[in-house]
Amino acid sequence: MDKEHYELTNEMIRLANRGAKKAQEEAHRLGLPNVYFISGKPVYEMPNGELRLKYKYPKSAVQV
């Protein structure tokens, strides 16, 4: 990979990471957990930082 492509790739990764961080912060601000999959199982990171293996979404957060 030449220097120009390397720099472009790094910039794209930086922007993607920034967007992901903002989305995670917004979810916590709204009182919603962030969900990560570890070994194929969902792990919920609560707004207070607590990790849970199960989470029941409030009816107000579920849109049909």
Unique residue bearing structure tokens 């709204």: 30
Distances (CA, A) of 28 to 1, 2, 25, 39, 58: 38, 39, 5, 23, 14
* pLDDT value of position 61: 61
- pTM over the 0.85 mark: no
Q: How many H helices and E strands in the chain? A: 1, 3
Give the Cα separation of 11 and 34 in Å (integer): 25
Mean pLDDT of the chain, nearest integer: 90
Q: Which residues pair with 35 in a beta bridge?
A: 44
Backbone angles phi and psi of 38, in degrees to 5: -120, 120
